[in-house]
Amino acid sequence: MIIRILGEGQYDVPESALTELNTLDASVQTAVDAGDTTAFRAGLGDLLAAVRERGTHVPDDVLTVSNLVLPAPDSELADVAALLGDEGLIPG
């Protein structure tokens, strides 16, 4: 699965990491719903770190479609709130 982190690039992440990513995504969703900026920053940081750690960076000169797009590390809570759907940032 190809996951893009806005402003950073794409990562090829194995499907086996999806359960962990969904758990981290739920933390981001909870923080956004509560309007808790501190928890949001920590949760988003953890989610993006997991994508970087579990995935392999796709070279910038390789053009491929992203299956998921995650916000940039410096995104604001209100901006991410506008992106969230019923299933968070990562469906499933």
Is 88 within a domain?
A: no
From CA 33, how far away is CA 14, in angstroms rounded?
Answer: 28
pTM to 2 decimal places:
0.91
Domain count for the chain, please give it.
1
* pLDDT string in tens for the chain (92-residue length): 999 999 999 999 999 999 999 999 999 999 999 999 999 999 999 999 999 999 999 999 998 999 999 999 999 999 998 877 666 777 76
Residue 41: domain span: 2-83
31 CB burial (10 A radius; 0-12, 13-18, 19+): buried
Is 89 within a domain?
A: no
Secondary structure string (H, E, C) spanning the chain: CEEEECCCEEEECCHHHHHHHHHHHHHHHHHHHHCCHHHHHHHHHHHHHHHHHHCEEECCCCCCCCCEEECCCCCCHHHHHHHCECCECCCC
Neighbouring C-beta atoms of residue 68, cutoff 10 Å: 20
Is 79 within a domain?
A: yes
